A and B are shown apart, each in its own frame.
Chain A
Amino acid sequence: MTAMPVSRRNVLKGSGGLFVSFLLPESVLSQPGRLPSPLNRRLSPSQLDTYLSIDANGVITAFFGKTDMGQGVDVAIAQIVAEELDAALDQVQIIMGDSALCVNQGGASGSTAIESGARPLRNAAAQARQVLLELAAEALQVDSATLEITDGQVHVAGDSSRRVGFGDLIGNSHFDVTLDWNGAIGNGLNVTGQANPKTTDQYKLVGQSAPRRELPAIIFGTQEYIVDIKVPGMLHGRIIRPAVAGAAPLSTDTSSIADIPGVQVIHVGDFLGVVAEKEWHAIKASRQLSVQWSQVSGPFPASNDIYDHIRNEPVARESGGGGFGPDVPLDRENLDQQMAQADTVIEAEYEFPFQSHASMGPACAVCDVRNGQATLWTGSQKPHDAQVGVAALLDIPVEDVRSIWVLGPGTYGRNDAGDAALEAALMSRETGRPVRVQGMRHEGSGWDPKGPASIHRVRAGLDVNGNIIAYEFMSKGYSAGDMAAWERSPSDTYVGMLTGWPNATVHRFGTPGDRYEFPEKLQYWQTVCPLLEKASPLRTAHFRDPLGPQIHFASESFIDELAVATGKDPIDLRLEYLQDPRDRGVLEAVRERTNWQSRVPGPEIANAGTTVTGSGVAYTRRGNSVVAVVAEVEVNRTTGRVWPRKFTVVADQGKIINPLWLRRTLEGNIVMATSRTLWEEVTFDSNNVTSVDWVTYPILEMEDAPEEIDIVLIDHDDLPPYGAGEPSTRPVTAAIGNAIYDATGLRIRTAPFTPERIRTLIERGLAADIENASDQSV
């Protein structure tokens, strides 16, 4: 074993393009309290010691280039690494999301932490096991075939007295093994060694429930969050946002804040902020500073017109394919012919609003820019992207920025944390001091990038026997993310857009993830241009299960409408058009678990009683993850309150790593999706977003939380694990909407299902009943 040479910077050229590997500048290495040992590794995706090291005490450190947003990723990765090494779980610690210590595995991204993120660590650990066996054979003077490993001790099979610990074998050195790297950086990164990982029948730790290791620290108040980072000499920063979106600060009058000590105004381009020694002084100054803003006309339509606005807008991009791929032209001919043959055509249109990430804490970041280098502490779920963005903003080499992820409020995608990283960098550059930036509530709810608003038009042609012979699904809305690349480019951040970085609107959307096999099926999407191109509070970006809730609200509500139209049971109807055993499996399992009574959706007696109950089903796929949900709801026909009392969730996530935290993750998905379904809608007037706190952007209250979430897991030893962080989000809105129909006979096609909207639906339903009754009496 030879230790890797220590050098300040190594730029390596790999087959995947230029990537950068480095050891830390001394100034960064000496940052207080942040650095674990061992550090003397050169980061290179093909080197085993980039992923694993073992210290003299036998403590195994795995370096993970993703982040754990609170779904048990840390413990699951530890289980996987410990399994391959035959170590005890508590021997393994995970360091994640630090650009100096972990290669870029894409950060938190598309529920891939386990599905793709664990692969290189599993393979590296398997290879490390082989190295340790060989070293032990030499140390114990035996054939390595006679050796076993138990809890990190290598010993002769049947003779545990002849043993040597991992720490004694490699604790003072490094793994010096080159792995076969696939050339990818980000989510797709993988390495393989000569040693094969275990097969599932050999698993002892993987597949077992294990609690999260960081929870005691959270609950006893010793966990450090991003908002708790303090750096010597640090200033507190706040940003000042315009009352009218798009307005630029022309001048400020510092005499207006003369009574607040130690405040400095930062006005760069159209970006305006303040810093102060004390946090409260920064807050006061941000509120009190007199600013002259440019006069601009309000850029937005009134929000109750947003869906008409989308319908009427010219199409910016249209495609029948995925959002990230090239345009896929629509082939309408066969569909139109088949639709023309139909005996009946059913059509419906659905509406879904802009939604805010609305993280519990508005975004926070700390940045220390000095001597041409920078250290960033960020809560962004993509710290490697923040590293690149900060370097670009500061115009310094990427390798001179160290980006350290610190647990923060849940981000759920590209929230305001990505913006804060670059805001802190700019303010530190301007002041020459470390700066901590945190938003206020109106920024966390009002100025974060939003999940896009959209409409969805669905049509189906039925033959005389009620068979679906043609199906068309169209989405039209704002781009799934009108920024090109998270915060990798300042162009995609609020501060970048205000300081001269050219805007780069990207148009992309998606199609339903179901596997219904209709004779003719056309799915496509259209995007429209942003309402305000630059630094908009309605910028769009990934929000937990991007596009999943809106698209599948439409697609799975419509299947329920078809069940009503054809007089079929909604589970039977779905099974009629599904072939894949895993798709069928979740539906069959949810039918059994709920003792589902086969029936056409709808109440037996319309308008009966104040509180009515119903059940609705939905099935969705996201990648390889398959989920079916049955929602049981109570609807109060007087108040309009919808209470989803119970959910039954059947999830097929491939091989299960940690059942306990898979269940908890699914439960969180269901509850958050319930909140988005019942309550969440970004509102705005012509000037700006008006949903700016928890009163104007309400989320689920405890009173409306489900009584029970019954979760059934389908485990597969013959499949890899599939991502679970998002897939069970997408069926929830349709399941609740379908249950509302079952309870009331009324179809809700606009989210969220607020009491006011339900009351309107019921009043319209009653009016229609009266009209029908008078028609019949004529």
Chain B
Amino acid sequence: MATVTLSVDGESHTLEVDADMPLLYALRDDLGKNNPRFGCGLAQCGACTVLIDGTPVRSCVLPVTAVNGEITTLNGLGSEAEPHPVQQAFIDEQVPFCGYCTNGWVMYSVAMLENNPEVTDAEMRRQFAGLKCRCGSHTAILRAVKKAADTMKV
């Protein structure tokens, strides 16, 4: 067992955990932060993504004891009153179907556009490599990310 302190969406939590447990289970099981979701446990789909100091990380494979930085979940990114431009664009373009994977796409989009809102279509497609959507929302995601990019350029 190990003692860890996690800072999630601006709140600090100290937990007693198995040292080999991935961050995902600390967030979901111990802290009730449900937006990162289990999809594969293999870092192959992105459904479990959180931002750590702004960088997307697959929480299903990162040992909780290896976390170093401020964790942001989808819920901590914005709200209906103050949406992140990416969240607003995902609503405007009515992106999700079942929405189980949406968390990962939003998180990667945020990191990508905050790094470079001038990203090209080809670069966008490349940077999304390794994210999965089973329902087929890909074309709507591209539309939304371009829309968010336009907002964030200004």
Contact = CB atoms under 8 A, between A and B. Distances in A.
Bound together: yes
Given A664-B94, A667-B139, A694-B44, A221 B134 contact: no
Given A219-B102, A703-B129, A671 B38 contact: no
A441 to B, nearest CB: 4
Interface string B26-52: 001100101101111110110100000
Nearest to B92: A211
28 contacts: A215-B90, A219-B74, A219-B96, A219-B102, A220-B80, A221-B35, A223-B99, A228-B28, A361-B47, A408-B98, A409-B98, A409-B100, A409-B134, A412-B134, A661-B94, A667-B136, A667-B140, A668-B136, A671-B138, A671-B139, A672-B135, A693-B44, A694-B132, A695-B44, A700-B138, A702-B138, A702-B142, A706-B139
Contacts of A667: 136, 139-140
B53 interface: no
A71 interface: yes
A699 interface: yes
A693 B138 contact: no
Contact of B135 (A227, A228, A668): A668
Of A222, A410, A670, A673, which is in contact with the most chain B CB atoms at under 10 Å from its CB? A410
B29 A279 contact: yes
Interface in B79-96: 79-80, 83, 87, 90-91, 94-96
Interface in A679-715: 693-695, 699-703, 705-706, 708-709
B38 A227 contact: yes
Interface of B: 18, 21-22, 25, 28-29, 32, 34-35, 37-42, 44-45, 47, 73-80, 83, 87, 90-91, 94-103, 106, 124-126, 128-142
Nearest to A702: B128
Contact of A360 (B32, B39, B142): B39
A671 B94 contact: no
Contacts of B136: 667-675, 700
B97 A279 contact: no
Given A218-B102, A280-B29, A361-B38, A699 B132 contact: yes
A708 B140 CA distance: 10
A370 interface: no
B94 A359 contact: no
B23 to A, nearest CB: 11
Contacts of B135: 70, 360, 410, 668, 672
Of A360, A672, A694, A701, which is in contact with the most chain B CB atoms at under 10 Å from its CB? A360
B96 A279 contact: no
Contact of B141 (A362, A438, A664, A702): A702
A357 B25 CA distance: 25
Contact of B45 (A236, A694, A708): A694
Which 9 residue pairs are nearest across A and B when measured between Cβ atoms?
A671-B136, A221-B75, A70-B97, A705-B138, A218-B99, A702-B128, A221-B74, A410-B98, A672-B136
A544 B49 CA distance: 28
Contacts of A695: 44
B38 A703 contact: no
B101 to A, nearest CB: 5
A208 to B, nearest CB: 14
Given A225-B34, A701-B129, A360 B100 contact: yes
A278 interface: yes
A279 B132 contact: no
Interface string A726-745: 00000000000000000000
Interface residues of A, number: 61
Contacts of A228: 28, 34
Contacts of A376: none
A358 interface: yes
Given A361-B100, A702-B129, A280 B21 contact: yes
A225 B134 contact: no
Given A279-B25, A672-B135, A702-B141, A693 B100 contact: no
Given A70-B97, A280-B25, A438-B38, A219 B106 contact: yes
A220 B134 contact: no
Nearest to A671: B136
A69 interface: yes
A440 interface: yes
Contacts of A215: 90-91, 94-96, 99
Contact of B91 (A216, A441, A670, A701): A216
B130 to A, nearest CB: 8
A225 B100 contact: yes
Contacts of B22: 280
B18 to A, nearest CB: 6
A279 B28 contact: yes
Of B35, B38, B45, B129, which is in contact with the most chain A CB atoms at under 10 Å from its CB? B38
A261 B91 CA distance: 43
B50 to A, nearest CB: 11
A667 B135 CA distance: 10
A140 interface: no
A221 B77 CA distance: 9
Nearest to A72: B94
A220 B128 contact: no
Nearest to B64: A280
Given A693-B40, A703-B129, A360 B35 contact: no
Contacts of A626: none
Nearest to B131: A702
Nearest to A667: B139
B74 A360 contact: no
A224 B77 CA distance: 17
A360 B75 CA distance: 20
Contacts of A655: none
B127 to A, nearest CB: 9
Contacts of B98: 69-70, 360, 407-410
A489 B92 CA distance: 43
A219 B97 contact: no
A360 B42 contact: no
Given A667-B136, A708-B139, 6 more contacts: A278-B29, A360-B45, A410-B98, A664-B97, A670-B136, A703-B126
B40 A441 contact: yes
Contacts of A222: 75
Given A70-B99, A218-B102, A360-B98, A703 B125 contact: yes
A742 B101 CA distance: 36
A702 B87 CA distance: 19
Contacts of A280: 18, 21-22, 25, 29
